[in-house]
Every structure is written in structure tokens, then in C-alpha cells.
């Protein structure tokens, strides 16, 4: 089934050029101010329909996609998988065809299996946006992380970014590594050897480094990104206990002191306080965790606008 020419999927950062990434970020800058108005609504997507189809739990992503759609005046529908016909055994393909028959403009999908948004995009006439697929990608998370970094650091090119934790199960890490290396940052990943791949999709030439020691990755960093320990994706023990993980890999004030004096801290959420990040770091002035959530709405407004036919605008436009 051919899609109408104006519908564009966002399946991963891996597929995007640096120019396309900047296009989305610049559009997000244009949408950002709407969320601070008293009346947080513009008619940009009036008459469009957005379906949120989440097969996994979510607070930030699902709420911000819904808010983004509503602030742009689209009709936003949340399909709750536990009360939908998926719970009666309907296949993913049949669910997708059923939703497609209602002629939505965009389907936002999160699924525990990698590649589901790509499958959906092949059979749906609507634009498909990946809200996280298994351990593969979480493109809007990387975009909102980039917006947060640009806000504090201006340029991403030349920055040193440390990504710490469960790299192997993290779609956030994968999308961020693609985005940050495409935009010219140097990325160092570190964590338990069992959770950090030795070679990461051939990206070493693009500015990716793998460190054995968390301290080595954090030293001199401009940005320290901490990942959640994903117990739901770990079918065997990758480290002895959570308290040992906290001792050896958790971000404490002492470890953060190795980064640049003006380094910022990111975490995609939800946090395991006291495990991958100490509470006094999460709540410190260097933490950008709530700004990440704030910029998530603007980024998702931009993604919905562009996915349903909007034109990329320059910041000045
Ligand atoms: N960062 C993130 O994806 O959070 P949620 O699981 O709450 O959507």
C-alpha cells in the first residue's frame, strides 16, 4: 500500500542525516513556546488524527505524544493494549490493519520487540513514529536529549558525552549514539562488561569509544548520560547485585566531579534512585532530567507536524 507522498515515518535516528536531525530540532524550537502560553493550543494539525499504540508501559513518552497532538489540535486517541482486542489474541498485523481502516494520519507505536514500527510502516497508510522498539531505537528520546544539550551547551559538535550503564539493552543509548556521532560529538560508553558491547555497530570511526571504567568515560565529559538498569529486558544476571552495581557504576557526586565543572547530567527516566544515580545528583542543579521531559513535548509536536506533512522551517522562519 503506497503512502500519500506527504506522510513521513520516523523509525530511527540511524536513518536520518545530520541535516534532517537539525530540521526536527529547529522545528521543535519553533513549537517550544506554545507550551508556556496560557492557552496551549494552535490549529496546526486540526482535522488530523493521531493514534498512540503502546504495548509497553510509559509515562513520559505516551503523555507527551498525547499532549503534543492535543496542543496542535489533532484528535488524539490512546489505544490501551490491555483492554484492546490484542488481549483476545489479535495479531499485530490485524490490529494495524484495523486501525489503518479508520484512516488515522499518524500511528505512534511502542513495542517490546525490535522492528515492530518498521513492520507497521509497511502495511499502514498513516505515518508511523517509533516511540521505542525493544532494544533497538527510541528516536524521539534522542531528539529531546539533543534539544536539552543544545539549550545548555549551544553546539553538539565537539562535545564529549559519557553514556553510562546498560548499553546493550538500551534503545535510548543506541539512538543517542547515532545522533551524537552524526552531529560530531565524541561519545564514550561504559558499564559492566556484560552490558557494554565491545564493538558498537562499526561506529568507532564516527567518534564512539568503549571504556571499561566509568571514571574513564566521565573524566572531562561535557554531558553525563545515565541509563536505567532495565530489569525487564535482562533474562539473566549481568551483575551480582543492584547494590554492587550502585557501588561500581552509579553516578555519585564523587564520580561527577571528574567531569568538566559545567558538565550536565541527563537520564531518560524512569530513574532507579540510589542504583544508577544518587538522589543528590538527580536533584542537583546540574541535572537536566525535568528539562528533558519539558523538551519532549516540543520535540514530539515537531515530529507529529513533520510526519503528517509539515515543512521543515529554519529557526528564524
Ligand atoms: N524515557 C521514556 O521513554 O520514559 P517512559 O517509559 O516513561 O515513556
Q: Which residues approach ligand 1 with their CB closer than 6 A?
A: 58-61, 132, 141, 268-270
**How much of the chain, in percent, has pLDDT values that exceed 70?**
91
Burial 189-220 (b: 16+ CB within 10 A, else e): bbbbeebbeeebeebeebbbbbbeebeebbbe
pLDDT digits (tens, 9 = 90+) for 163-204: 999 888 899 999 999 999 999 999 999 998 888 877 665 666
pTM for this predicted structure: 0.94
Of 71, 138, 255, 300, which is the active-site residue? 138
Q: Does the pLDDT at position 103 exceed 90?
A: yes
186 is catalytic: no
> For a substitution probing ligand 1, which of 52, 56, 59, 130 has the most ligand atoms within 8 Å of its CB?
59
Residue whose CA is closest, atom 1 of ligand 1? 268
User: Ligand 1: distance of its center to the CA of 317 in Å?
Assistant: 31
Backbone phi and psi for residue 72, each to the nearest 5 degrees, phi listed first: -100, 10
Of 83, 88, 241, 261, which is the active-site residue? 88
Cα–Cα distances (Å) from 84 to 10, 92, 158, in that order, read: 25, 12, 47
Q: Please check whether residue 152 is in contact with residue 288, taking contact to mean a CB–CB distance below 8 angstroms.
A: yes
- Rounded CA separation 10/143 (Å): 11
Q: Please check whether residue 224 is in contact with residue 263, taking contact to mean a CB–CB distance below 8 angstroms.
A: yes
Q: Does the pLDDT at position 2 exceed 60?
A: no
pLDDT band, very low/low/confident/very high, at 232 (cuts 50, 70, 90) = low
Task: List domains and CATH numbers for the chain.
Answer: 13-136+295-307 (3.40.50.1370), 140-292 (3.40.50.1370)
60 is catalytic: yes
- Rounded CA separation 45/310 (Å): 9
Q: Is the peptide bond before 272 cis (omega within 30 degrees of 0)?
A: no
Q: Which residues pair with 277 in a beta bridge?
A: 251, 273
- Rounded CA separation 153/146 (Å): 10
61 is catalytic: yes
Amino acid at each position: 500500500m503506497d503512502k500519500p507522498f506527504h506522510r513521513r515515518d520516523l523509525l530511527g535516528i540511524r536513518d536520518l542525516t545530520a541535516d534532517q536531525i537539525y530540521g526536527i530540532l529547529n522545528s521543535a524550537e519553533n513549537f517550544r513556546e506554545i507550551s508556556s502560553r496560557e492557552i496551549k493550543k494552535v490549529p496546526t494539525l486540526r482535522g488530523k488524527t493521531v493514534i498512540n499504540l503502546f504495548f509497553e508501559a510509559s509515562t513520559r513518552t505516551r503523555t507527551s505524544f498525547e499532549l503534543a497532538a492535543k496542543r496542535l489540535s489533532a484528535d488524539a486517541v490512546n489505544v490501551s493494549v490491555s483492554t484492546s482486542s490484542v488481549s483476545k489474541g489479535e495479531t499485530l498485523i490485524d490490529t494495524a490493519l484495523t486501525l489503518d481502516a479508520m484512516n488515522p494520519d499518524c500511528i505512534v507505536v511502542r513495542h517490546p520487540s525490535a522492528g515492530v514500527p518498521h513492520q507497521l510502516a509497511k502495511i499502514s497508510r498513516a505515518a508511523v513514529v517509533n516511540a521505542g522498539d525493544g532494544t533497538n531505537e527510541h528516536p524521539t528520546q534522542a531528539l529531546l536529549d539533543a534539544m536539552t544539550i543544545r539549550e545548555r551547551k549551544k553546539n553538539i559538535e565537539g562535545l564529549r558525552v559519557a553514556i553510562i550503564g546498560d548499553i546493550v539493552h538500551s534503545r535510548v543509548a543506541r539512538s543517542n549514539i547515532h545522533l551524537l556521532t552524526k552531529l560530531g560529538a565524541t561519545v564514550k560508553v561504559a558499564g559492566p562488561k556484560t552490558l557494554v558491547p565491545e564493538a558498537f555497530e562499526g561506529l568507532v570511526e564516527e567518534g564512539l569509544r568503549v571504556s571499561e571504567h566509568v571514571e574513564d568515560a566521565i573524566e572531562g565529559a561535557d554531558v553525563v548520560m545515565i541509563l536505567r538498569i532495565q530489569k525487564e529486558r535482562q533474562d539473566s544476571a549481568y551483575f551480582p547485585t543492584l547494590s554492587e552495581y550502585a557501588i561500581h557504576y552509579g553516578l555519585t557526586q564523587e564520580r561527577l566531579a571528574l567531569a568538566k565543572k559545567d558538565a550536565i547530567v541527563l537520564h531518560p527516566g524512569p530513574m532507579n534512585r540510589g542504583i544508577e544515580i544518587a538522589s543528590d545528583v538527580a536533584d542537583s542543579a546540574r541535572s537536566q532530567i525535568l528539562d528533558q521531559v519539558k523538551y519532549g513535548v516540543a520535540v514530539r509536536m515537531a515530529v507529529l507536524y513533520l510526519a503528517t506533512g509539515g515543512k521543515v522551517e529554519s529557526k528564524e522562519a
